[in-house]
A and B are shown apart, each in its own frame.
Chain A
Amino acid sequence: MAKSILHTASSRDHSDHGWLKSFHTFSFGANYNPERIQFGALRVLNDDWVSGGGGFGEHPHDNMEIISIPLEGSLQHEDSMNNVAIIESGEIQVMSAGTGIYHKEFNKNSNDSVQFLQIWLFPNQRNVEPRYQQKRYKEFLKPNQFAQILSPNRDDEGVWIYQDAYFYIGKFDTSTKTEFTFKNKGNGLYVFVIKGNTTVNEQTLNERDGYGIWETERIFIEAGKGSQILLMEVPMEY
């Protein structure tokens, strides 16, 4: 029997630093919520809004797979491995922080805010050599289908990470039914509704709701018209 957990958009912790407004699905920063620590290897799901010209100054990371998915606007990234890049909607960025990395990221636009998802996954090995990767998925995204944008495999179309996780994103302009089969036994799936609404098995989800489901091999997704959905398949034991 499948197990599931619903995290509605309104149940998320919220922090407001003026230039940054963030909604935390899981316990983050000063917000400690012992009931909401993680979903398997998925540890952080932050829904960030950075105002025009604002950004995160230089700060460190280690031993974490850090994934950014801009939803609107563009972010400028600079790190201690001499990567300077701009990422925008339709792209995905990953940093394997490993033994340690410094970076800063700013809203490229001085007037409009940038919206992005910041997602952290526990790595499957500690102290790897830090790495950076960025990929554009917009071109291989087909209407009304999910496209894989992250995996553990270097040869796959999206970015790769040090974890047996798979991410998919889809935009649906008509109501679309999909059967989703898990890649790996023992994995769970975390569904995050970026836009619109969807139904997963019998559960209706609205914008920015999250829904974790595990101990099953497949699920049924009915994406609502005008929806945008992120699927994150992650190991429940890691």
Chain B
Amino acid sequence: MKNTEILVVCTHKEILKTIVRLINSNPAMNATAAVSHEEALMLFSSGSFDLVLIGAGLTKEEEKDLIDKVESFRAKVPVVSHYGGGSGLLFTEIYQALSKQM
């Protein structure tokens, strides 16, 4: 079965590393890291993702632009704002987003 591909964008490199590690600890998921809005857009346009997770550090405008562009490229891919910066809410956010998609 195909892994759930998750693009994570967060400008705080250490937190990004933690989130990617947590996601990759789940054998059914695979995380790709982006440290900026620009990198996220570039990776999204060239890859195939099931979910985009927006972590800390993007401006309101960058968050909105990312949401708008993901929607215009592939409307079915959910974009979720991540809160908490660790394992506390991460998997609930992912499962909730994926269940809404189904």
Q: Is A84 an interface residue (CB 8 A)?
A: no
| Residue count of chain A within 8 Å CB distance of chain B | 25
Q: Is B96 an interface residue (CB 8 A)?
A: yes
CA distance A27 to B95 in the complex (A): 11
Question: Across the interface, which residues of A come within 8 angstroms of B82, CB to CB?
Answer: 62-63
Q: Is B99 an interface residue (CB 8 A)?
A: yes
CA distance A120 to B81 in the complex (A): 16
Question: Across the interface, which residues of B come within 8 angstroms of A29, CB to CB?
Answer: 87-88, 91
Interface string of A159-176 (1 = CB under 8 A from B): 000000000000000000
Q: Check if A100 sits within 8 Å of B88, measured CB to CB.
A: no
Q: Check if A59 sits within 8 Å of B58, measured CB to CB.
A: no
Question: Across the interface, which residues of B come within 8 angstroms of A44, CB to CB?
Answer: 88-89
CA distance A103 to B60 in the complex (A): 26
CA distance A120 to B99 in the complex (A): 24
CA distance A67 to B91 in the complex (A): 21
Interface residues of B (CB under 8 A from A): 10-12, 14-15, 18, 55-60, 63, 81-89, 91-92, 95-96, 99
Interface residues of A (CB under 8 A from B): 27-30, 32, 34, 37, 43-44, 59-64, 97-102, 120, 122, 126-127
